[in-house]
Amino acid sequence: MPHITLPDDVPGIRSLVMYRPDTGQPLYDLAQALLRAGSPDSTLTDAERELIAAFVSKQNQTAFCMNSHAAASRYLYADQRDLVDQTLADPDEAPISPKLKALLVIADHVRADARTVSDDLVVAAHAEGLRMVIFMIPY
């Protein structure tokens, strides 16, 4: 039984933004800034950011979020869209960069318990070309 009434025809975070735009819109804007704006010297593409969000959403068992981020990632990868499903099925065997594999490991640690992100994990990601780690846990 829901504690608040949300529109049935507006799924996911969008319905929460409509319910409380004063607090929901800034959260939505933050998500968009992290997924799209990035840092000018970022080594991640928008497709990779969306893939990380899809991966974390899958681990969180949030189907709407996983499907939304996966669809965005597929669109952004264009001809390489199959990477998305391969990564979601088995990130260790997916034909993605070692840097992205290292980031997915860190993202999963952050998702489960950020205190388990070790120096070794960060060093490994830096060795693969990562400059900075900032994660937002997708909704």
What CATH number does the domain located at 12-127 have? 1.20.1290.10
- Residuewise pLDDT in 10s, the chain (139 residues): 557 777 777 776 777 778 888 888 888 788 777 777 666 667 788 899 999 999 999 999 988 889 999 999 999 999 999 999 999 999 999 999 999 999 999 999 999 998 899 989 988 888 888 776 555 444 4
Longest dimension (CA), the chain: 48
Model pTM? 0.79
Cα-flanking dihedrals φ and ψ of residue 13, to 5°?
-65, -25
DSSP reduced 3-state for 112: helix
- Rounded CA separation 58/45 (Å): 20
Listed by start position, the domains of the chain span 12-127
